């Protein structure tokens, strides 16, 4: 081992700069944003991408008509590629236009007319490359090209063209394509006129026709091009939330050339697909796609230079967030995302300055954050010394423990079963959970709605009276004895069946099996033991778990939901009866069905935000609290850390195109990295010395042996 080690030392000392720099020396001092992804993105096709690990890429590349304002709160839609946020025009069943105040029952159709800005250009891409006679260079693909290229940037000829309304229409048709299986196809079929019949036509066409399906040949009744820069979308009935979908990559433009280009034979075998090589008009384009290693976004040279917003929340100017107001974005030249599937290396590299931003896992919490008296958080001295900045936000998500309402023991809407669920809801000490597993980064949920959404209520009016008492100006979880009382009323005095005396055993179904999960599961069992209920953990793999949820054979489970858009409908629909998981395959995982709740939901869905809607939501939340199909968990607080050299950072839970706003001080970063990564040679040298010392007796034995044989 010795010679190896010494040659290693020599090799390492020959390198310049920090020896643990994970990036090549050629990137030194450049305006590059360094981040990581924990799971390789699977789909970058805008029709398919729906996972949060894909949005860091899709958000920078695609430009749907709308976006969320970067600085303003509450979240507000502003135009991105469009010229304005479209207001719907309502029509009744006879095609007469209705005033915007018309009641939802009269509206049979809403029409959205979207104007896009002229002069927007796509990123350079071989699909747009034309030869002298204006014919595509790579369609059909010349036979010798594919053998020589491995990635889209390898194509010698690249081109571009202007964005038109047709591209948006083409993409909406793609959502209906059976080959793509867009995750929102089922939902859109409920809303966009003619979506169903297009889907069927495409389905039969896909069976007979191999290769590219030219979607321009298939009309979609609800979506029409008006002129080069304008198109219409006709939505069934009134669906005020539709406009939010227009800010998601599902509604980004897709040129037919690109679709045709990727559909050519031999492309998929080389991973040349839209899922790997997205094409858009956004500020960045993907130039390296190695999902097992690194993804690299580079500034789109054709980007129009959208100006940085010049208005924000009060306080933004003081925080320096308006310093770049009006300047053309983006500011950063490149963004490098490395695969980092574990939290330990991620955190350590962040501390070493090799990642520009990081979250805080519960294991690093005490190192990063100090909580002062009164619960206010601030960074630890070590972080402050490094100039790291902390931003906290309550995420628009909700974690909960669900009871399968179809289960004979925990389900059912009658009083007995309801009390059992209420008792468990009280016993599950979410405050302790948040303290242990999230270091206090979360607020216990009082209902299905997370704060920041319309309909959420704060303070005494917002507490869950089933689980909490309001005393001393704060919610307090009811005592365990009241939970026991409820349990007894439910027919299980002291956790045992009142009739047979059999101890109550419940099953918890989960798909988690990671190292940290054992602690969590242990904690959960501890909570049930407070009621003398034995909780059996039925761990399984993810597939089986999904199966169980679909078949409704689970009993108790954990689930969570991230907002698709900032509207209460997006959370309350998780409890809407017709959305049941069992039978209809919807998102109502608890299979909860309360007719009164369902009636109110249908009413609430189409209402405009206002006191009337608030009243309906209050009623709905109250029903759910009493029925307790969920034991409400918590709404996580996001703690984001950024290094001092990252400017213009403001957490935005809805926007996914944040990269263009950011600015990097690369020189400051290099100084910091050099300071934080001084290698410690003393340790290994000592280790080698100890090893050598251990060999001394061997050497002496050798000498003795030599002498002996010489004699």
- Rounded Cα distance between 45 and 66, Å, is 18
Q: Using CB under 8 A, which of the segments 166-174, 298-306, 316-324, 680-688 binds another protein?
A: 680-688
Q: Using CB under 8 A, which of the segments 3-11, 403-411, 419-427, 448-456 binds another protein?
A: 3-11
| β-strands 534-539, 369-371 pairing | unpaired
Q: Which of 657, 711, 672, 685 is nearest to 284 (CA)?
A: 657
- Rounded Cα distance between 408 and 554, Å, is 11
Q: Using CB under 8 A, which of the segments 67-75, 163-171, 219-227, 516-524 binds another protein?
A: 516-524
Choose which of 73, 384, 675, 705 interacts with another protein (CB under 8 A): 705
Site for another protein in 525-554 (CB under 8 A): 526, 534-544, 546-548, 550
Comparing CB distances to another protein, the nearer of 20 and 209 is 20
Measure the CA angle with vertex 149, ends 143 and 154; round to 5°.
Answer: 125
Binding flag, residue 497, another protein (CB under 8 A): yes
Choose which of 265, 266, 459, 498 interacts with another protein (CB under 8 A): 498
- Contacts of 221 by beta carbon, 8 Å cutoff, 6+ apart: 193, 194, 197, 198, 234
Binding flag, residue 326, another protein (CB under 8 A): no
Comparing CB distances to another protein, the nearer of 260 and 563 is 563
Q: What is the CA radius of gyration of the chain?
A: 30
CB of 314 to another protein, least distance (A): 29
CB of 146 to another protein, least distance (A): 13
Q: Using CB under 8 A, which of the segments 222-230, 318-326, 631-639, 695-703 binds another protein?
A: 695-703
For residue 134, give Cα distances in angstroms to 128, 131, 212.
10, 5, 21
Neighbours of 472 (CB within 10 A): 7
How buried is residue 99: exposed, middle or buried, by Cβ count under 10 Å (0-12/13-18/19+)?
exposed
Binding flag, residue 707, another protein (CB under 8 A): no
Comparing CB distances to another protein, the nearer of 276 and 648 is 276
Comparing CB distances to another protein, the nearer of 127 and 533 is 533
Comparing CB distances to another protein, the nearer of 24 and 315 is 24
Binding flag, residue 697, another protein (CB under 8 A): yes
The separation between CA 634 and the C-alpha centre of its own chain, rounded to angstroms, equals 17
Binding flag, residue 408, another protein (CB under 8 A): no
Binding flag, residue 348, another protein (CB under 8 A): yes
Binding flag, residue 691, another protein (CB under 8 A): no
Q: At what angle do helices 595-605 and 611-627 cross, to 10 degrees?
A: 150
Comparing CB distances to another protein, the nearer of 276 and 446 is 276
Binding flag, residue 226, another protein (CB under 8 A): no
Binding flag, residue 675, another protein (CB under 8 A): no
Q: At what angle do helices 682-710 and 2-14 cross, to 10 degrees?
A: 140
Q: Which of 388, 219, 390, 320 is nearest to 662 (CA)?
A: 320
Handedness of CA 80, 83, 87, 89 (dihedral sign): negative
- Rounded Cα distance between 307 and 662, Å, is 13
Choose which of 679, 689, 692, 703 interacts with another protein (CB under 8 A): 679
Choose which of 221, 226, 344, 602 interacts with another protein (CB under 8 A): 344
Binding flag, residue 291, another protein (CB under 8 A): yes
Binding flag, residue 596, another protein (CB under 8 A): no
Q: Give the containing element (helix H, strand E) for 450.
A: none
Neighbours of 551 (CB within 10 A): 11
Site for another protein in 30-89 (CB under 8 A): 40, 42-43, 50-51
Site for another protein in 437-476 (CB under 8 A): 440
Site for another protein in 146-205 (CB under 8 A): 178-179, 181, 183-187
CB of 355 to another protein, least distance (A): 11
Choose which of 364, 422, 425, 593 interacts with another protein (CB under 8 A): 364
Choose which of 209, 271, 311, 392 interacts with another protein (CB under 8 A): 271
Binding flag, residue 436, another protein (CB under 8 A): yes
Dihedral angle of Cα 263, 297, 566, 199, to the nearest 10 degrees: 0
Comparing CB distances to another protein, the nearer of 323 and 519 is 519
How buried is residue 276: exposed, middle or buried, by Cβ count under 10 Å (0-12/13-18/19+)?
buried
Comparing CB distances to another protein, the nearer of 181 and 392 is 181
Binding flag, residue 371, another protein (CB under 8 A): yes
Measure the CA angle with vertex 114, ends 85 and 84; round to 5°.
Answer: 30
- Rounded Cα distance between 299 and 302, Å, is 9
- Rounded Cα distance between 365 and 358, Å, is 12
Binding flag, residue 501, another protein (CB under 8 A): yes
Binding flag, residue 24, another protein (CB under 8 A): yes
Binding flag, residue 292, another protein (CB under 8 A): yes
Strands (E) across 498-644 are located at 505-510, 534-539, 556-562, 630-642
Beta bridge partners of 393: 638
Binding flag, residue 385, another protein (CB under 8 A): no
Choose which of 96, 228, 293, 675 interacts with another protein (CB under 8 A): 293
Q: Using CB under 8 A, which of the segments 63-71, 367-375, 477-485, 666-674 binds another protein?
A: 367-375
- Contacts of 641 by beta carbon, 8 Å cutoff, 6+ apart: 350, 357, 358, 359, 360, 368, 383, 388, 389, 390
Binding flag, residue 366, another protein (CB under 8 A): yes
Binding flag, residue 275, another protein (CB under 8 A): yes
Comparing CB distances to another protein, the nearer of 461 and 698 is 698
Q: What are phi and psi of 23, to 5 degrees?
A: -110, 150
Binding flag, residue 341, another protein (CB under 8 A): yes
Strands (E) across 374-424 are located at 377-379, 389-394, 397-403
Choose which of 22, 118, 156, 459 interacts with another protein (CB under 8 A): 22
Number of residues near another protein (by CB under 8 A):
117
Choose which of 76, 100, 204, 367 interacts with another protein (CB under 8 A): 367
Strands (E) across 395-548 are located at 397-403, 442-444, 468-471, 474-477, 505-510, 534-539
Binding flag, residue 681, another protein (CB under 8 A): yes
Comparing CB distances to another protein, the nearer of 542 and 671 is 542
């Amino acid at each position: 081992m010795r010679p190896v080690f010494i040659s290693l030392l020599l090799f390492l000392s020959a390198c310049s700069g920090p020896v643990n720099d994970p990036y090549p020396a050629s990137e030194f001092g450049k305006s590059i944003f360094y981040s990581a992804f924990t799971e390789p993105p699977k789909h970058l096709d805008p029709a398919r991408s729906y996972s949060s690990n894909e949005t860091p890429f899709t958000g920078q590349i695609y430009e749907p008509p709308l976006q969320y304002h970067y600085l303003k709160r509450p979240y507000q839609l502003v135009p991105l590629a469009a010229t304005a946020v479209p207001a719907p025009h309502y029509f009744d069943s006879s095609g007469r236009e209705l005033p915007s105040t018309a009641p939802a029952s009269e509206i049979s159709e809403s029409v959205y007319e979207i104007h896009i800005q002229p002069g927007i250009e796509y990123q350079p891409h071989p699909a747009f490359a034309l030869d002298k006679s204006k014919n595509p260079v790579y369609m059909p693909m010349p036979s010798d090209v594919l053998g020589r290229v491995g990635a889209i940037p390898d194509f010698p000829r690249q081109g571009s063209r202007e964005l038109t309304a047709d591209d948006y229409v083409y993409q909406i048709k793609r959502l209906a394509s059976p080959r793509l299986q867009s995750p929102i196809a089922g939902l859109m079929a409920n809303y966009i006129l003619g979506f169903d019949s297009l889907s069927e036509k495409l389905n039969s066409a896909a069976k007979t026709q191999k290769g590219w399906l030219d979607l321009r040949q298939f009309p979609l009744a609800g979506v029409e091009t008006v002129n080069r820069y304008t198109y219409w979308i006709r939505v069934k009935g009134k669906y005020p939330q539709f406009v939010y979908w227009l800010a998601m990559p599902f509604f980004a433009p897709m040129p037919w050339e690109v679709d045709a280009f990727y559909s050519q034979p031999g492309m998929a075998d080389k991973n040349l697909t839209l899922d790997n090589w997205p094409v858009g008009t956004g500020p960045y384009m993907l130039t390296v796609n190695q999902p097992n290693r690194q993804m690299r976004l580079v500034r789109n040279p054709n980007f129009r230079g959208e100006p940085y917003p010049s208005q924000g929340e009060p306080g933004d100017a003081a925080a320096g967030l308006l310093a770049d107001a009006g300047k053309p974005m983006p500011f950063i030249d490149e963004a490098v995302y490395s695969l980092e599937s574990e939290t330990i290396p991620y955190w350590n590299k962040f501390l070493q300055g090799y990642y520009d931003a990081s979250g805080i896992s519960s294991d690093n919490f005490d190192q990063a954050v100090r909580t002062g008296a009164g619960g206010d958080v601030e960074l630890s001295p070590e972080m402050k010394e490094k100039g790291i900045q902390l931003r906290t936000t309550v995420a628009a998500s909700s974690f909960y423990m669900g009871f399968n309402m179809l289960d004979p023991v925990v389900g059912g809407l009658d009083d007995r079963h309801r009390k059992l669920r209420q008792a468990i809801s009280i016993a599950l000490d979410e405050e302790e959970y948040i303290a242990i597993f999230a270091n206090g980064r979360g607020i216990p949920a009082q209902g299905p709605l997370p704060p920041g959404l319309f309909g959420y209520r704060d303070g005494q009016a917002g507490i869950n009276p089933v689980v909490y008492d309001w005393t001393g100006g704060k919610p307090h979880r009811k005592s365990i004895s009241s939970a026991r009382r409820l349990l007894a009323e439910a027919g299980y005095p002291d956790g045992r069946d009142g009739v047979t005396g059999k101890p109550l055993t419940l099953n918890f179904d989960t798909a988690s099996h990671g190292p940290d999960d054992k602690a969590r599961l242990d904690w959960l069992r501890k909570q049930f033991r407070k009621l003398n209920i034995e909780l059996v953990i039925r761990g399984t793999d993810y597939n089986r778990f999904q199966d169980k949820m679909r078949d409704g054979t689970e009993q108790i489970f954990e689930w969570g939901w991230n907002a698709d858009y900032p509207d209460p409908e997006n959370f309350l629909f998780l409890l809407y009866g017709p959305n049941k998981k069992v039978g209809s395959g919807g998102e109502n995982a608890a299979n909860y069905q309360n007719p009164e709740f369902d009636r109110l939901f249908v009413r609430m869905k189409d209402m405009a935000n206002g006191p009337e809607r608030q009243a309906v939501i209050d009623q709905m939340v109250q029903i759910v609290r009493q029925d307790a199909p969920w034991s409400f968990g918590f709404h996580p607080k996001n703690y984001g850390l950024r290094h001092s050299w990252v400017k213009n950072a403001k957490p935005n839970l809805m926007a996914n195109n944040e990269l263009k706003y950011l600015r990097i001080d690369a020189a400051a970063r290099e100084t910091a990295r050099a300071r934080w990564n001084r290698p410690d040679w003393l340790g290994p040298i000592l280790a080698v010395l100890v090893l050598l010392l251990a060999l001394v007796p061997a050497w002496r034995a050798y000498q003795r042996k030599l002498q002996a044989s010489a004699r």
